Structure 1
Amino acid sequence: MKLLACPVNGFRNIDEFQSFGPLRETPDPEKTSDAEWGQHLFRADNRKGIVVEWWRHVPSNVFFLAERDTESNEVVRTFLPAETGERR
């Protein structure tokens, strides 16, 4: 059984979680063309290495961030959005 550490509920079965994709900056709506919005919404970066992703612990509805290595699928750490600081 694979476990994931929820920053609020501790280690839980991975089946209790839902992934929402990578953390990304939101484009400025007044300066972004339709083509750029399409790129932002429908094109994934899909890079190798460490990425920061949104996750949700479904039973408690806690949203948090996880740093995950896309090559090894290892979760480096999990943390609440308030803990991002300047890392955004």
Structure 2
Amino acid sequence: MRLPCPLCGERDLREFYYMGDAVRLARPAPDAGEAAWDSYLHLRDNPAGETRDLWQHEAGCGAWIVVTRDTVSHAVLGSVLAVEAHDAH
């Protein structure tokens, strides 16, 4: 798979470090209890279709990017710098 870095252009997946879903998860309070922390740390949705993921161009410019991709077709639909994605929401 190739990912489009907004700064460097399209690059091989091996240049990037995957950080997970770009949608922010609500962190439980420190005293929320074991079940809340277990859910926060281990339970994630695994959607079929369009998703937004956070990646770092680790072996390139170092930028944090949000990649929109389709988990069914494996098509990469685009990317933006993470700071721009954050500002837009």
**TM-score, normalisation: structure 1:** 0.80
Q: How many residues align?
A: 85
The C-alpha deviation readout for 1:26-85, integer Å capped at 9, x for no partner, is 325449543222212111200111111011111222111001101011111100122221
What TM-score do the two structures reach when normalised by structure 2?
0.79
Runs of at least 5 residues in structure 2 that lack an aligned partner in the other structure: none
Runs of 5+ in structure 1 lacking a partner?
A: none
Is the deviation greater in 62-71 or in 77-86?
Answer: 77-86
1:16-55 matches, within 5 Å, as 16-27=15-26, 29-30=28-29, 32-55=32-55
Aligned pairs for 1:66-81 within 5 A: 66-81=67-82
Q: 1:28 to 1:5 in 2, by over 3 A?
A: closer
What percent of counterpart residues are identical? 28
RMSD: 1.9
Runs of 4+ in 1 over 4 A off after TM superposition: none
